[in-house]
Amino acid sequence: DSGVTQTPKHLITATGQRVTLRCSPRSGDLSVYWYQQSLDQGLQFLIQYYNGEERAKGNILERFSAQQFPDLHSELNLSSLELGDSALYFCASSVQGLYGYTFGSGTRLTVV
């Protein structure tokens, strides 16, 4: 157990639907990062939050949004899902991005 918890582990949903992925960071880590790993695109950075505030934004689609709550857990919301959104979604946490990252085990999203 890395200390970063992601739920659910697997998710199958239909096109057009909306899902929420959840991440609980390692205790004491203030930063949460979201990544998408698809077969054709490799690992891509989506967005970072630090202590509740958005810190950096990568290749995140407008249909996707995220937030970090006061208890530091984070949620990634994916809406109007398309087949191409099928991927592994990873969350990682760090103290401040200074000491490396701890990754969660990922959520495998399948859009059918």
Point out which span in 18-26, 52-60, 61-69, 75-83 binds another protein (CB under 8 A): 52-60
Rg (CA), the chain: 13
Find out whether 52 and 31 touch, Cβ atoms under 8 Å: no
Point out which span in 12-20, 64-72, 76-84, 92-100 binds another protein (CB under 8 A): 92-100
- The residue (of 25 and 106) whose beta carbon lies closer to another protein is 106
Residue 84: phi and psi, rounded to 5, are: -70, -10
β-partners of residue 19 are 78
Both tokens of 17, joined, read 């639907």
CA distance 106 to 89: 5
In the set 12, 16, 18, 57, which binds another protein (CB under 8 A)?
Answer: 57
- The residue (of 36 and 111) whose beta carbon lies closer to another protein is 36
Binding site for another protein (CB under 8 A): 2, 33, 35, 42-45, 48, 55-58, 88, 90, 92, 97, 99-103, 105-106, 108
